[in-house]
Amino acid sequence: METLRDKVAVITGAASGIGRATAWSLVDRGARVVIADIDAAGAEQVAGEIAAAGGSALAVPCDVAAEGAFEALRDSTADAFGRVDVVMNNAGVLTRGLPEHIPVAEWQRVLDVNLMSVVRSNSAFLPLLVEQGSGHLVNTASFAGLFTYSYDRLPYAASKAALIQLSEGLALYLRPQGIGVTVLCPGPVVTGIAGSIRSFGPETTTRGPGPEFEALQPEQVGEQVAEAILANRFMLQTDDNVRPHLRNRADNWDAYLNDRITALDG
């Protein structure tokens, strides 16, 4: 995408964190944005702040796990702005617990929000993008989908790994049709997602991907997303320190896994 000026971007989970920051980064480049979030008051606040700063924004209450939510979001966007150019599937949830303690129902909830919401989004928005022969998708995954650094958040990690594969397949299909795809894989970012974690079973030690990864501010990630859209970049890893992990695992998966086990035991 050569420019974001006058483009229309729909962002889920945009009332806070990475979604909110990305909305501002896109607005700064001339885009009009739809702030979609289950937190209706938060979405209204962000849209109001953007409007007060001279930008163009629409707030839409949206539960990404609800039937028909994306069709309603698509229609609201079309009514307000007449088109869609960028869709960022950013809403997500996190759960914590040892594998034997996380209920099946919780697995279903996490997969429904983190993975199936993107499937629903595609069903609503892809026909529009394919018909116009232009646009860009951004799917928010995670370092947790790239390599394993904990065992107490398996539903989250599994959903994000699946999302990376889904995004790669979409890129194969959509790029020849003029539609870009970016999969955002953040490392540690200072957001409020930790406050909504559901926990099951005994308390676990929450481990991050490693001490080499500095926690970024959402605004830094929002800028990275905007630049990735303009550059038509597929893989957006927020920290290049992830690359040695991926190379080492690809070179000798068993040895890498043994090193991770040793690190966890330590």
DSSP string, 171-220: HHHHGGGTEEEEEEE--SB--SGGGG-EE-SS------S-TT-PPBPHHH
Q: State both tokens at 164.
A: 């990376």
Give the model's pLDDT for residue 196.
76
* Over residues 206-235, mean pLDDT: 94
In the predicted structure, residue 166 carries a pLDDT above the cut 70: yes
Q: Is the confidence at residue 228, as pLDDT, over 80?
A: yes
Rg (the chain; Cα; Å): 18
Two tokens at 46? 């962000």
- pTM greater than 0.85 (yes/no): yes
Mean pLDDT computed over 43-69: 98
Catalytic residues: 156
pLDDT of residue 265: 66
Torsion sign over Cα 198, 264, 163, 6: positive
Q: Using alpha carbons, list the distances in angstroms from residue 174 to 18, 119, 134, 163, 234.
A: 25, 15, 9, 16, 12
- Domain 8-265 class in CATH: alpha beta
Q: What does the pLDDT look like over 89-116, one tens digit per residue?
A: 999 999 999 999 999 999 999 999 999 9
Per-residue confidence at 266, pLDDT binned at 50, 70, 90? low
Q: How far apart are the first and last CA of the chain?
A: 46
pLDDT reading at 194 higher than 70? no
DSSP letter at 243?
H
Instruction: Report the chain's mean pLDDT, rounded to a whole number.
Output: 95
Query: What is the structure's pLDDT at 192?
Result: 74
Q: Could you give the CA distance from residue 114 to residue 61 in angstroms, rounded to a whole number?
A: 17
CA dist., res. 73 & res. 36, Å (int) = 8
Residue 142 has pLDDT above 60, yes or no: yes
CB 117 within 8 Å of CB 91: yes
Q: Determine whether 101 is exposed, middle or buried from the number of CB atoms within 10 Å of its CB (0-12, 13-18, 19+).
A: middle
State the pLDDT confidence band at 207, using cuts at 50, 70 and 90. Answer: confident
Q: What percent of the chain has pLDDT over 70?
A: 98
pLDDT of residue 197: 86
CA distance linking residue 219 with residue 178, whole number of Å: 28
pLDDT for res 204:
87
- Confidence at residue 13, expressed as pLDDT on a 0 to 100 scale: 97
Q: Which of 204, 88, 224 is nearest to 151 (CA)?
A: 204
pLDDT band for position 139 (cuts 50, 70, 90):
very high
pLDDT band at 36 (very low <50, low <70, confident <90, very high): very high
